């Protein structure tokens, strides 16, 4: 009873009001400029894509577009229509690769994290230490050993070379394991006493409780797969197996070499097109993360 009165008093005193309260102005004064500063790169990408040539090369550079134009996109689509391979093929490759990679990465990371967190077996700590150590390496540092492994597996110039190497996401395994560590062992033991199998525990207990981590991994995997250019450049020879991001990068570089002015406009438009799916998926999954954080099974 005393605790309920204390909560009621705090709510009425404005320390933690549900709606707007004048005491919150100090938070808005700090967070609003910070949020505006973090939005500047995204605003610049949109603004830059609609700049005419004279604004693209203006000095000093202009942050906001003054006379917006769609010519950059017209030039980009005109070059897309001259490709030997249909642009829809590149786009199909990127969409399929991204969807399969996201789904497979979530499955691999969550099942491995469940085993490392809640199962007992030999070399468990060693395997997790190796995964943690892998977080230290940037992708360029493992380019040569990755190429040799892909070559030995016979994955060169295949569709799977886009997907299989990306399933080994140390950050995904690490993050999901930390979430599963927070699930009480008593919950798992109670399910085992009731006769639940490992698959049933994983599907009915683990997955609903780690949805915030899954959403985060989905965002990271989507961005890595959708923006991936190196795989098409290093491991793919067949033009029909390359991705949309790689095609746009080669298109803008060739346009820049032929015509610097037109190339810069095409590059700005292409950057916006590649960026938009990342922004959409982030906004969608970020709302899911906030919702599941507020209604997580761990709080019940």
Q: CA 157, CA 155: separation in Å to the nearest integer?
A: 6
pLDDT at 2: 42
Task: Show the beta-strand stretches assigned E in the chain.
Answer: none
Helix axes 211-226, 87-118, angle to 10 degrees: 140
Listed residue (42, 82, 48, 81) closest to 65, CA to CA:
48
Amino acid 300: pLDDT = 42
Dihedral sign for Cα atoms in the order 159, 147, 129, 228 = negative
pLDDT tens per residue, the chain (300 residues)?
444 444 444 444 445 556 667 777 888 888 899 988 989 999 999 999 999 888 888 888 888 998 999 988 988 888 877 767 788 888 999 999 999 999 999 999 999 999 999 998 888 999 999 999 988 888 788 889 999 999 999 999 999 999 998 888 898 899 899 889 888 999 999 999 989 899 999 999 999 888 888 988 999 899 999 999 999 999 999 988 999 999 888 876 665 555 566 678 888 888 899 999 988 888 888 776 665 455 444 444
CA 132 from chain centre, in angstroms, equals: 20
Q: Which CATH superfamily is domain 90-299 in?
A: MetI-like (1.10.3720.10)
Radius of gyration of the chain from Cα atoms? 25
Q: What is the pLDDT of residue 84?
A: 75
- How high is the pLDDT of residue 253? 65
Dihedral over alpha carbons 237, 242, 248, 254 (to 10 degrees): 10
Question: So where are the chain's domains?
Answer: 90-299
Q: What is the DSSP string of 186-215?
A: HHHHHHHHTT--HHHHIIIIIHHHTHHHHH
Residue 219 to residue 277: CA distance in whole angstroms: 11
Cα separation, 74 vs 72, whole angstroms: 5
Note the Cα 297 to chain centre separation in Å.
24
First to last CA, the chain: 21
- Pick the closest to residue 182 from 300, 299, 298 (CA basis): 298
Residue 56: the pLDDT is: 86
For residue 249, give both structure tokens.
Answer: 């990068």
Displacement of CA 123 from its chain's centroid (Å): 31
Say how far residue 175 (Cα) sits from the centre of its chain. Answer: 14
């Amino acid at each position: 009873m005393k605790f309920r009165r204390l909560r009621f008093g705090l709510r009425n005193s404005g320390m933690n009001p549900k709606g707007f309260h004048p005491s919150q102005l100090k938070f808005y004064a700090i967070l609003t400029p910070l949020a505006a500063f973090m939005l500047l790169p995204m605003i610049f990408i949109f603004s830059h894509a609609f700049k005419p040539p004279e604004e693209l090369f203006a000095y000093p550079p202009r942050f906001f577009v003054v006379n917006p134009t769609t010519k950059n996109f017209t030039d980009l689509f005109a070059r897309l229509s001259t490709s030997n391979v249909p642009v829809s093929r590149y786009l199909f490759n990127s969409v399929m690769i991204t969807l399969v990679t996201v789904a497979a990465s979530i499955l691999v990371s969550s099942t491995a994290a469940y085993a490392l967190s809640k199962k007992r077996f030999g070399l468990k700590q060693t395997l997790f230490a190796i995964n943690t150590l892998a977080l230290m390496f940037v992708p360029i540092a493992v380019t040569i050993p990755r190429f040799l492994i892909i070559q030995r597996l016979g994955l060169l110039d295949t569709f799977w070379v886009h997907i299989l190497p990306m399933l080994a996401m140390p950050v995904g395994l690490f993050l999901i394991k930390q979430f599963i560590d927070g699930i009480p062992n008593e919950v798992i033991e109670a399910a085992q006493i009731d006769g639940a199998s490992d698959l049933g525990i994983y599907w009915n207990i683990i997955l609903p409780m780690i949805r915030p981590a899954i959403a985060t991994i989905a965002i990271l995997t989507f961005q890595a797969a959708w923006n991936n250019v190196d795989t098409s450049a290093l491991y793919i020879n067949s033009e029909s197996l390359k991705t949309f991001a790689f095609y746009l990068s080669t298109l803008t570089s060739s346009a820049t070499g032929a015509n610097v002015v037109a190339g810069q406009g095409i590059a700005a438009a292409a950057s916006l097109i590649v960026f938009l799916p990342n922004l959409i998926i982030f906004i969608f999954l970020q709302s899911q993360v906030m919702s599941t954080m507020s209604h997580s099974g761990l709080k019940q």
